[in-house]
Amino acid sequence: MERQLHRSVPGRCPVCGEALEVTRLQCPYCDTGLDGKFQACKFCLLTREQKDFLEIFIKSRGIIKEVERELGLSYPTVRARLDAIIEALGYRVDRSGPEDRDRRRKEILDAVNRGEIKADEAVKMLRQV
């Protein structure tokens, strides 16, 4: 039996960009085929560039400094690419940075100082920030 060249499965339509549907699976060795509608892998929906980035991220064990060094990118660029992958996988990305969290903490503490909220309420709120 002749071996066939395996290519990456495209996850998105090249015309409209929507997710492609898998309708046939084929064994390259015994030629068994399955027809139907199958759910594609979430990672198949990523672009080639996102898959390459993810491979480097995993190889670097998620250490952003190593990803920065290997790709020659800045921290904000690495974070932006990682956030784009997280969103492409269907998850929400919290875009609030440390400045936003610090500002919110200060607002809570100021409210305590003005007597608008009690300390125990502030503790609960600070834990959520």
1 and 30 assigned to the same domain: yes
| Residue 70 belongs to domain spanning | 46-88
Share of the chain above pLDDT 70, in %: 93
User: What is the DSSP track for 13-57?
Assistant: -TTT-PBP-EEEEE-TTT--EEEEEEPPPGGGGS-HHHHHHHHHH
Reported as a single tens digit per residue, the pLDDT across 1-57 is 455 555 677 777 888 888 788 888 889 899 999 898 887 788 888 888 999 999 999
In the prediction, which pLDDT does 41 show? 81
Question: What are the residues facing 35 on neighbouring strands?
Answer: 24
- Whether 3 maps to a domain, the answer reads yes
Written as one string, the DSSP assignment of 59-84 is HTTT-HHHHHHHHT--HHHHHHHHHH
In this structure, are residues 21 and 37 in contact, taking their beta carbons and an 8 Å threshold? yes
- Mean of pLDDT values over 83-90: 91
Specify if 58 maps to a domain: yes
Q: Are residues 31 and 63 in the same domain?
A: no
Q: Is 109:122 a contact under the CB 8 Å cutoff?
A: yes
